[in-house]
Each structure stands twice: as C-alpha cells, then as structure tokens.
Structure 1
C-alpha cells in the first residue's frame, strides 16, 4: 500500500494493444512478431515490452528474459502436435496406422504454417542449441518418437529392421519440419492444401502406395473429426 492508502500495482504502460489478450499472451505475441521481423539478436526486452504496451519491469513478472520468451514460443509450436499424437496412439478405434499418421502430419504442418508469424523459422537460431532450450528439445523428441511409433505400425514399415525404420522416421519427420523453410519462401500458399499435400508425401516416404492415398486421406479426415 502507498502512504495515501491506495494499493500500488505493478508498473504498467499507459496503453495496451486492443487485442484483448492476457498480459502474458500479449508479450508472447509481441516477441513472436519482433523475433521473426527484426531478428532475435536485434530485439531487446524493452522493445518487446513496449510493443506489448507495458513497462519492462512488468514483463519480468511473466518472463525472465528473451530466452524464456523464445523457449515458450518454440514449445508452443510442438506441444499441440504432441498432444494430438498421444491421442492418436491411445485411440482404440478402427482407424489404420496410416490414417493416424496422415492425420498427425497434416495437423502438424497446419500448426507450423498457421498464424501471423513463421515461428518454426526460430528453430534455426544458434541460441536454440543451448541447454536453456532442453525443454523444447525434449518435447520435440517425444513428438518424433510418436511419429516413429505410428510409422512402425503401418503395413509398409511393420517388417523393417530398426535402422531402416529409424531412417524412415528421420525422413518423414524431416519432411514435416521442412515446411518451415518452404512456408517462409511462399507465405501466401493456401495452408490446408499445402498440409494435405505434405501429409500425402510423408505417407509415400513411409511406403504407402499412391493408389491407397485417397482412402487413407478420407479415413484420416473422419478420424480428425471424431477427435475434435
């Protein structure tokens, strides 16, 4: 309390954006824009706070600094797909492993390519290789392992040896994450069509026959609708 008896709150800037976002989400949105537009190294915490319409001291109530903001943004590009992958692996319905894999691939691509900023491009920052981002790498590895489990359950990969299966998974997962660069070069490409085409390509890498793709795609869409 102040000497006048009025409660003293955390310092805030006079104006906030009209987004309606909570303060923490406002900071993440501001950081996402500045990291992708200006570059991570060229962005200061003061500039992020100002774009979010608050004082730098207020920002530190939510995040310890730029690394914390970047880590939260990166994990946000993975955790929704990991959540879906867990549901797909746990679901005991009739959908094939191929349909589940297609569903995950399409959803993952949509996540990476949807939104005002290409957050996936931040994966390429050298800072992301440091220990501070171990949490991001942990959830990303779990997602990759989920891809591998779905891949191993497909008819075309069921009889593969361990090394060949690891290679197939590297190729499929690498293809999905490659959309980060493709989307950056052509951000106006329709995302849903792009996601479906990438999921088709991933299943072809997995060994699914081209003639089977249409039926797999339809089954995957029915599965996705049932999981909503």
Structure 2
C-alpha cells in the first residue's frame, strides 16, 4: 500500500502529551488497537482510515503514528493476538505428556474458542481479508500454521492412545476438520451471541473430539467440562 495523505509519516520522535485524549484510561497503544478492532469489524478494513482510528481512540492522527505505522501494522497485531495465547498454551500442552492426549486436545479446543468468541469484537472475520495474504502478515500466517500443527500433534497422539495398533488413517483431514471447526465457531456464535461463551466452548471441544475420533479416550469427565 503506497503512502498517502491518510497514512501520514511513520513514527518520529516522542508524542506530545497534549494530543492524547484517552477515553478509557487504557494506554494509548491499547486504545488504538481497541479502536481499530471496533472499526475494522464494524465498518470494514478497507473503509476505515487511520484518521478514523486515531479519532476513535481519542488522539490526533500524527500521534497515532508514534505507536503504529499504519493500518497494516494495526491489523497484523490484532490478528496475531487471536493466535498467540493459544500457541503458548498448545506448546505447554504438548509438553504435558503425563495426561491423556485427548484431554489435552479438548483443553486446547476449549481455550481457543474462549479466546476467539470471548472478546467484544469478531476479529476472526478479519482472517478472510484478501490483504492477509500479503507479506506484512507472514508472521500471523506462520503462527497460525504452527498452531494448526500443534492441533495435529495432539490429535495424532490421541488417536495413537485410542488405537494402539497405529490406526492413523485420515489424520490430516481430521485435523483440517477440527481446526476448521474451532476457527469457524465465530460464525455460529455470532448468530446467537447471548449463549454463554463457556458453555459454547465446552460443547465445541466435545464436538472436536468426536470429529477427531477420540471421544472414547475421554471416558472420565474432563476437568472443567460441563456435565
């Protein structure tokens, strides 16, 4: 994207304190991210200008450029925030080999749904933007690919536990389906936002185990699951 009047200069120097008019008491960087999330999901990414983001955050456009270089940088950070916590948890669950893999997979699914559906904005809808295929978003795509790989390793381990003979048929397609279910639940939740997110997350995790073909590996109740 070429630099234009809306994009303005990149961050230079220190922002003037008299240009900040925080609305919520959040730090300016967080204020800008919240404003961008609201506008990108409500108005659309292409229709949102950096000026609009700055004004919604309660600051001047020139001040915004001290924190972010433009819309792409705002979008990239928002997208990465939808993956990073699940990736950290997923790595921890992979290392926690003392518990059944199916339980760990269930926990990752549940936590991921809570993250994706528990916030005030439908950030998952931004995954479909054509801009996300650009080079600026390579880090997000890498993180998302690693998270999908974590799902696959947990799923493979769970199926190996359930089928000691080594029946791993259809592992890749099952992982695609499980990962697609987790990311797709935002559309389902958006159609009925009054549903309690915790109950919704547990039901989705239960469904993911059925798709994975390892439901029988969790005969005992999983800690934190709904009865």
Tell me if both proteins adopt one fold, taking TM over 0.5 as the criterion. Answer: yes
**Cα pair 1:157 1:165 within 8 Å, conserved:** no
Gaps spanning 5+ residues in structure 1: where? 1-7, 223-228
1:74 aligned to 2:79?
yes
**Cα pair 1:99 1:216 within 8 Å, conserved:** no
**Closer, same or farther: CA 15–83 of 1 in aligned 2, 3 Å:** same
Match of 2:32 among 27, 52, 55: 27
Deviation at 1:208, TM superposition (A): 2.3
**Closer, same or farther: CA 88–14 of 1 in aligned 2, 3 Å:** closer
**Cα pair 2:19 2:60 within 8 Å, conserved:** yes
1:153 aligned to 2:157?
yes
TM-score (norm 1): 0.85
Partners of 1:45 and 1:56 lie apart in 2 by: 7
Q: Which residue of 1 aligns with 2:96?
A: 91
Match of 2:134 among 130, 134, 138: 130
Counterparts of residues 34-45 of structure 1 (less than 5 Å): 34-45=39-50
For residues 53-77 of structure 1, what are the alpha-carbon distances to aligned partners after superposition, in whole Å with 9 as ceiling and x for unaligned?
A: 1111111111110011000000000
Deviation at 1:217, TM superposition (A): 2.1
- C-alpha RMSD of the superposition: 2.0
Q: Secondary structure at the match of 2:170?
A: helix
Q: Secondary structure at the match of 1:195?
A: helix
**Cα pair 2:22 2:28 within 8 Å, conserved:** no
Q: State the aligned residue count.
A: 209
Partners of 2:210 and 2:70 lie apart in 1 by: 43
Partners of 1:216 and 1:157 lie apart in 2 by: 20
Counterparts of residues 71-220 of structure 1 (less than 5 Å): 71-92=76-97, 94-154=98-158, 155-156=161-162, 159-161=166-168, 164-209=170-215, 213=218, 215-218=220-223
Q: Secondary structure at the match of 1:72?
A: helix
